[in-house]
Amino acid sequence: MANLSAEDATLILKGWFDKKTSLFATTQSDGISVVVPSCRIVELDSDTAQLLGDAQISIGGLAKPETKFWYAEPREFLDKLAALSIPVPDAEKCLSAVGIAFFARVCGPGMEDLLVPVGKVAFWELRG
């Protein structure tokens, strides 16, 4: 897996939006995991992505400096995620993945700002 800049992540998401690419999506935060086996990006701007398919997903905060992105090929992540009990699509159906991790900035008197993970979402590009 490789870190991805916000600009490069946006280019990939825009490409999937333009091509109406079928995606498998999963999102997790503390205590919850949601799997969407089939969806497409139906709206996209610099800070928000709207996906529609087996469920509707709205993702905001893409432009926040605390938001982190990654990119991976199937062989790099499917086994690792499955070992963590994160639902993943069939490896034969996947082409690539983009992940987004969201953080909250926590600060207080006499302490440095901390970035605390609050959730993540991953999209897998599906073949045909």
Q: What is the pLDDT of residues 61-108, one digit of tens each?
A: 999 999 999 898 776 766 666 665 566 666 677 788 898 999 988 888
DSSP 54-86: SSEEEE--TTSTT-EEEEE-HHHHHHHHHHTT-
- Measured CA angle at 84 (ends 74, 1), to 5 deg: 35
Count of domains for the chain: 1
- Give the domain range for residue 43: 2-126
Identify the pLDDT of residue 11: 93
Q: What does the pLDDT average to over 17-28?
A: 91
